[in-house]
Amino acid sequence: MNWRVILAICVAVAVFEPLGDTRPAQAQAERVTPVVEAVRRVGPAVVHISTEQLRDDLRFSPNPIIDRYYREFFERHGPNQPEARALGSGVIIDKAGYILTNEHVIMRTGPIKVTLSDARTYTAKVIGSEPARDLAILKIDGDKPFPTAPLGDSSDLLIGETVIAIGSPFGLSNTVTTGVVSATGRTIRSDADRVYLDFIQTDASINPGNSGGPLLNINGDVIGINTAIYGDAQGIGFAIPANSAKAIVEDLIQFGQVNYGWFGVRVQPLNPS
């Protein structure tokens, strides 16, 4: 009888011990969701941008949504401060060190400092900008290729699909938030009557400092550049579609500006006379 008991115990240990070894590994694997994988893939290519803007020269984006929160942010430094620190984000789109960000992050600034996720810091130079699209290209130089996150395809976005925002809200580098595509094709009109077309609307949390950072889909593709929030509302943010950015990136890198076609036609309103 005693031998039978001992044998039963040995069999039980042999059966259940392997399960004890594999369950933690299985649980760990279950935690590695598509969001985690996307962040691991793209995170190293997201940068923190810090600059200083002279208050005398400070101008705000023609986008009233951007204008409101940036004005409030800078005014906290007080009227006697000659400079105001601007914070933003960017994404490295080429291993040579080309960074895509928002134009309003780097407009009329002094030296621009770029910090990578591994804490390496570089001084960046502005290669080109396009205020009408609120996009700019920066360049940093290093002794080896940089991690990249090339722009993806934003033409087939699904309303309700999961999206991921990575950036530096309020200077908190490498912050990750998630949400969904709330709408596409949004049009925003500025106080200066400048119109921004085809924005992506998302409820992923976007705050000052997120501007210029990437908006990803669940596959880790860069589908947008986070740009603005809607006043004091909760969960209403906007991103420039990746395809809109791709249309001008090459011009910004090569020429420093966007070269639009010229039709040689002047438009004027008609009247009865």
Catalytic amino acids?
104, 134, 211
Distance in angstroms (rounded) separating the CA atoms of residues 39 and 106? 25
Distance in angstroms (rounded) separating the CA atoms of residues 90 and 253? 15
Residue 50 token pair: 């810090």
CA atoms within 13 A on the CB side of 92: 26
Please enumerate in sequence order all residues whose Cβ is within 8 A of that of 68, keeping only pairs 6 or more positions apart, or say none.
Answer: 231
Q: Residue 10 carries which side chain, given as an amino acid letter?
A: C
Closest CA to 85 of 206, 170, 205, 172: 170
Closest CA to 209 of 93, 48, 78, 61: 48
**Tokens 């030296």 found at:** 111
Distance in angstroms (rounded) separating the CA atoms of residues 240 and 215? 9
